[in-house]
Structure formats: C-alpha cells, structure tokens
C-alpha cells in the first residue's frame, strides 16, 4: 500500500520536527521544511496504524518561544505543520477527513486536527483491509466526516446512497419505457 503525505512546515526559530510510525515502526524522522511530499510503501496484511508525532514546539522552555506576535498581539510567525493532503494508494483522502482526525495533545487532551499540528502531540488513524472499502467508508459514510462537507465541497455525496441509486435506476427505467412507447 502506498502512503503519501503532502505537508508544509512553517518556521519560527526552527522548522517542525515530525516522526511517522507505521504499526509502531519508525518510517520517517526529520524536520519538515516548507512544502514536502513524503511517500512510503507499506505492507497492509492486517490493520495498519499510522501515527504522526511532533512538532517539538518549545512552549517557552529556556525562554524560547516558537510563536512570534506583533505589537497588537497578532501571530506573525508560528512553528507548525500543515497537512495539505494524505493519499492512500493514490486516492486523496481530502480536507474534511483530515480535519476530523483526532490530535492527541500533551496532558491527555484530544482535539480535531483541523489539517495541522499547531502544538506538540500526535495524530493517529487505522487503515483496514480491504483498502478501497475502508476509503469509501471513511470518506463517504463516516458521519463525522459527512458533517464537515459542504455541498460545494462534496458534489458526489449521494454516490454511495442506496436509496438515491434506486431512485436513479427507477428514473432510467421510466425514460427507457417512455422512449419505447414513442417508437
């Protein structure tokens, strides 16, 4: 199975540091500088657990802060990691799915990742075989992800809805019947 991560590391004092694990095996461990695409071939014989862990933000340790503010208190620079896209076997998972991934922060706090790591923590998700069935379920059926979609973002929303498909089949049969009647 092919995993692809399209990431952007934003600099403040230093770039964010990221470690990626696949089933607890370290498959990447380095700084993410600017926009970076990482690709990995991994074996999916059973459930695959993917973990992104980082970003080594100092949070004032030894007087070092990884967020810079202007005089009005607005952030002008921040050490963070943006997740632009994740694809699995060349299928983009999309922003709504990425936004719903849980980010486990320090002190046992969990928040939606919102397409990035803005503080230290980890993001984890499990991929289950068969991969295409898992992707369909995650992108098109998962109610948490469905809530994230707007109509303009997700025009294929009804693509896997059984009742919608049955109505379309009935409509097509009706059209065919009408055409035969007109002959």
Would you list the domain boundaries of the chain? 2-149, 155-183
Query: pLDDT band for position 152 (50/70/90)?
Result: very low
Q: For residue range 117-136, list pLDDT tens digits in order.
A: 989 999 999 999 999 999 98
* Cis omega (within 30 of 0) for bond into 104: no
Q: CA 33 to CA 40: how far, in whole Å? A: 18
Mean pLDDT of the chain: 85
Out of 129-133, 139-143, 167-171, the most confident range is 129-133
Sign of the dihedral through C-alpha 54, 28, 99, 163: negative
- In CATH, the architecture of 2-149 is Sandwich (2.60)
Query: pLDDT band for position 183 (50/70/90)?
Result: low
Q: For residue range 66-102, list pLDDT tens digits in order.
A: 988 889 888 899 999 999 999 999 999 999 999 989 9
Q: For residue range 6-52, list pLDDT tens digits in order.
A: 999 999 999 999 999 999 999 999 999 999 999 999 999 889 999 99
What distances in angstroms separate CA 95 from CA 24, 44, 100, 110, 148, one per listed residue?
25, 24, 9, 19, 9
Q: CA 183 to CA 130: how far, in whole Å? A: 47
**DSSP reduced 3-state for 51:** strand
Identify each DSSP E strand in the chain by its residue range.
2-10, 17-22, 25-31, 34-41, 48-55, 67-69, 75-78, 80-88, 91-92, 102-105, 109-112, 116-117, 121-127
Q: Whole-model pTM?
A: 0.77
At 39 the pLDDT is 98
How crowded is the C-beta side of 63, counted as CA atoms within 13 Å?
Answer: 0
What distances in angstroms separate CA 91 from CA 44, 98, 105, 134, 156, one per listed residue?
16, 13, 28, 12, 15
Q: Is pLDDT above 60 for 157?
A: no
Q: CA 7 to CA 120: how far, in whole Å? A: 16
Answer whether 127's CB lies under 8 Å from 1's CB: yes
According to DSSP, the residues that pair with 28 across neighbouring strands are 20
At 151 the pLDDT is 42
At 154 the pLDDT is 42
- Which residue's structure tokens are 């979609």? 149
How many CB atoms sit inside 10 A of residue 57's CB? 25
């Amino acid at each position: 199975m092919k995993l692809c991560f399209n990431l952007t590391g934003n600099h403040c004092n230093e770039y964010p540091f990221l470690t990626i694990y696949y089933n607890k095996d370290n498959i990447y461990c380095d700084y993410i500088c600017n926009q970076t695409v990482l690709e990995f071939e991994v074996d999916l014989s059973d459930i695959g657990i993917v973990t992104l862990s980082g970003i080594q933000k100092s949070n004032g340790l030894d007087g070092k802060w990884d967020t810079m503010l202007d005089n009005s208190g607005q952030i002008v620079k921040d050490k963070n990691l943006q997740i632009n896209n994740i694809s699995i076997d060349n299928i983009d998972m999309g922003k709504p799915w990425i936004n719903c991934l849980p980010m486990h922060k320090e002190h046992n706090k969990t928040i939606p990742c919102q397409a990035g790591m803005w503080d230290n923590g980890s993001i984890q998700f499990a991929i289950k075989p068969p991969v295409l069935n898992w992707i369909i379920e995650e992108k098109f059926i998962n109610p948490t992800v469905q809530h994230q979609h707007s109509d303009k973002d997700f025009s294929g929303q009804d693509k896997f809805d059984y009742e919608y498909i049955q109505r379309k089949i009935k409509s097509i049969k009706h059209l065919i019947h009408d055409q035969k009647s007109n002959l």
